[in-house]
Each structure stands twice: as structure tokens, then as C-alpha cells.
């Protein structure tokens, strides 16, 4: 792989673009489909266990995850009446987490969310959903509440309206997408960089007595980064889901208080 002496970083397309397995379906799409199927299989298996006995195995994992979503995300943002949102938020969390984690799995080593398609699709879905929910719960007055939060003095209304409009219509889906995509892409590039550096130092062609022992340093960094990437995979899934929950709670906020 190294044609010249020293570290040669491959062109960026070599680590981010994959060949098609069959037309318009590459490794990234395969990982996304596989993670959706694994998520569904896990919960289908868990559903077959007896609900009255103490949970074990797949049922235990599924119940822990549902409890985590309910206690950690839904109760914090939507409150008790928001528990109907649990299946959607649960699917979002499981899908994003299972798409992020192949960044550290040895043979796959590519987070499916490092390319723009999946984060963009998910954040557009969340965006359409929260505007739709607001329209359904508050009718046409929703746009009034969106642009002018309660308690804005009238002279400031045009300014605040403009800011809120840009913020909700453009910045929200954009930041949701870019946060997930850039976190995963940056982690992937970092792992590739330290892996390449370790390999370049171990297979050095001159000064081996100096360079080969030095390769322990990027190797430790690689180990640390792998652990860090597992944390980031979980954290980014959690952040996406809790932000979606916050947007949904803002959409239905007027409903609880004014009716």
C-alpha cells in the first residue's frame, strides 16, 4: 500500500466511498439495512419471551433499552403524556446507534452515518414530524407560536420573528444532520489516521531501531480513540433522539397549557 517511503495518506475517497456490491447498493447501505434488521430481530425475539417472568437474555436487553428511553429521554422532555412517543424515539435511537457502531467493528469499520444520506433523511423526517405535530395540535395558530414565543413585546416582533423563522426552518434540520454526520466522519478519519501512522512506523524502511518502538504511541492513541468512538456512537444517538424529543415537546407545548 505504501509506494514511497514515509506516511502516505490515501486520497479521501478511498476511505469514504465504497464500491457497489450491486447497482446503487454499497457497503454503507448494507450496514444500514443490516442494522435495521438486527434491531427488528432483537425486539421480535424479546417479544416472544414471557412477560410475567423475570427478563433474561434478549428480553432483558430490550427492556433495559425501553426503560432508558422512557426514563432518560421521554420523561425528561415530554413528561408523562409523551409516553406515546416511545416507539418512534426507540426506533430512532436503536437505528442510529447500530449504524454508528460499525465504525469500530473490525471488518466493517465504517459508520453508516458518516455519509450524508442517513442523517439527512432522519433529520428531515424529524423536522416534518415536529411541524406536522404542531399543526395538528395547535392548528394554524402554530405558526404564530413558532415565530413569536409568548411574551415578546410588539416592537421586537419582526426581529424575533425573522430569527425564529430562520432558526426553525433552516438551522434545525441542518444542525441535526451535520452534528451526526460530522461527528461520525471525523471519528472515522481519526481512526484511519492513527492506524496508518502505526502501520507506517512499524513497517519503516530505514532507522528501524528508532521508529519501530515509537509506533507504540499511535497504537495507544488508536486504542483510546476506539473506546472514545464507542462513547461517541452512543452519545450521538442519544443526542439526536433527545433533541427530537425536545422539538416534539415544543410542538405540543401549547396544547397542554392553553386547552
Partner 1 sequence: MEALSALVAAEEAGAFDPEAKNIAAATNAGLAYGLAAIGPGIGIGYLVGKSVEAMARQPEAAGMVRTTMFLGIAFTEALALIGFVVFILVKFA
Q: How far is residue 240's CA from residue 172's CA, in Å, rounded to a whole number? A: 12
Nearer to partner 1, 60 or 175 (CB): 175
Q: How far is residue 182's CA from residue 112's CA, in Å, rounded to a whole number? A: 12
Nearer to partner 1, 47 or 186 (CB): 186
Minimum Å distance from CB 196 to partner 1? 17
Nearer to partner 1, 71 or 205 (CB): 71
Q: What are the percentages of helix, strand and coil residues in the chain, rounded to 5?
A: 80, 0, 20
8 Å CB contact between 199 and 77: no
Nearer to partner 1, 138 or 236 (CB): 236
Distances (CA, A) of 155 to 142, 151, 173: 21, 12, 29
Give the cell for residue 177. 444532520
Minimum Å distance from CB 184 to partner 1? 10
Minimum Å distance from CB 185 to partner 1? 8
**Size of the chain in residues:** 259
Q: How far is residue 19's CA from residue 26's CA, in Å, rounded to a whole number? A: 6
Minimum Å distance from CB 3 to partner 1? 18
Nearer to partner 1, 58 or 235 (CB): 235
Phi and psi at 173, nearest 5°, equal -65, -35
Minimum Å distance from CB 239 to partner 1? 4
Nearer to partner 1, 175 or 208 (CB): 175
DSSP H or E segment with residue 188 = helix 172-202
Minimum Å distance from CB 207 to partner 1? 27
Cell 407560536, residue located: 145
What are the residues binding partner 1 (CB under 8 A)?
A: 12, 72, 76, 175, 178-179, 181-183, 185-186, 235-236, 238-239, 242
Amino acid at each position: 500500500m505504501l509506494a514511497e517511503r514515509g506516511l502516505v495518506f490515501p486520497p479521501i475517497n478511498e476511505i469514504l466511498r465504497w464500491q457497489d456490491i450491486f447497482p446503487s447498493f454499497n457497503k454503507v447501505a448494507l450496514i444500514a439495512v443490516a442494522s435495521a434488521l438486527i434491531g427488528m430481530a432483537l425486539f421480535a425475539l424479546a417479544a416472544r419471551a414471557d412477560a410475567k417472568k423475570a427478563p433474561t437474555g434478549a428480553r432483558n436487553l430490550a427492556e433495559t433499552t425501553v426503560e432508558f428511553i422512557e426514563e432518560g429521554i421521554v420523561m425528561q422532555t415530554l413528561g408523562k403524556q409523551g409516553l406515546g412517543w416511545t416507539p418512534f424515539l426507540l426506533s430512532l435511537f436503536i437505528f442510529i446507534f447500530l449504524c454508528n457502531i460499525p465504525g469500530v467493528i473490525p471488518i466493517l469499520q465504517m459508520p453508516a452515518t458518516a455519509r450524508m444520506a442517513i442523517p439527512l433523511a432522519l433529520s428531515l423526517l424529524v423536522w416534518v414530524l415536529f411541524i406536522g405535530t404542531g399543526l395538528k395540535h395547535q392548528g394554524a395558530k402554530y405558526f404564530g407560536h413558532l415565530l413569536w414565543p409568548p411574551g415578546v413585546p410588539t416592537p421586537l416582533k419582526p426581529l424575533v420573528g425573522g430569527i425564529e423563522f430562520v432558526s426553525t426552518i433552516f438551522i434545525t434540520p441542518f444542525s441535526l444532520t451535520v452534528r451526526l454526520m460530522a461527528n461520525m466522519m471525523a471519528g472515522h478519519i481519526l481512526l484511519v489516521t492513527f492506524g496508518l501512522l502505526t502501520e507506517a512506523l512499524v513497517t519503516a524502511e530505514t532507522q528501524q531501531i528508532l521508529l519501530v518502538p515509537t509506533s507504540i504511541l499511535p497504537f495507544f492513541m488508536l486504542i483510546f480513540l476506539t473506546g472514545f468512538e464507542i462513547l461517541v456512537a452512543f452519545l450521538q444517538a442519544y443526542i439526536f433522539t433527545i433533541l427530537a424529543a425536545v422539538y416534539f415537546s415544543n410542538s405540543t407545548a401549547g396544547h397542554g397549557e392553553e386547552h
